[in-house]
Structure 1
């Protein structure tokens, strides 16, 4: 299936967001494994918020690229 001109930028953004989401997973795990202090908790909290935003954006882009077709 060939991509349209509208789908190509969305697909590229989707790939970038999925990579960033994966990187954030690793970074959050690293922060949690280092121990808990106030700075680590604040950093982890911010990273988790960013990860959630990215997850929502990924879901939105996928809904555009791969709509549910009810027949």
Structure 2
């Protein structure tokens, strides 16, 4: 990405569909996944986020700080 800042996004929901979203967006050079929120910290998407070093939270408000 040239001279533009990456756009930060937060994903809400880390279930099975969340995995597909994480995988697709993680590869996008114009975006940065700033965090993923899900009440279930053991969901498959949350586990993937932790492996990729993406911040996680139970409440998305915590990621906005």
- State the TM-score, normalizing by the size of structure 1: 0.30
| Larger RCO of the pair (alpha carbons < 8 Å, separation 6+) | 1
Greater gyration radius: 1
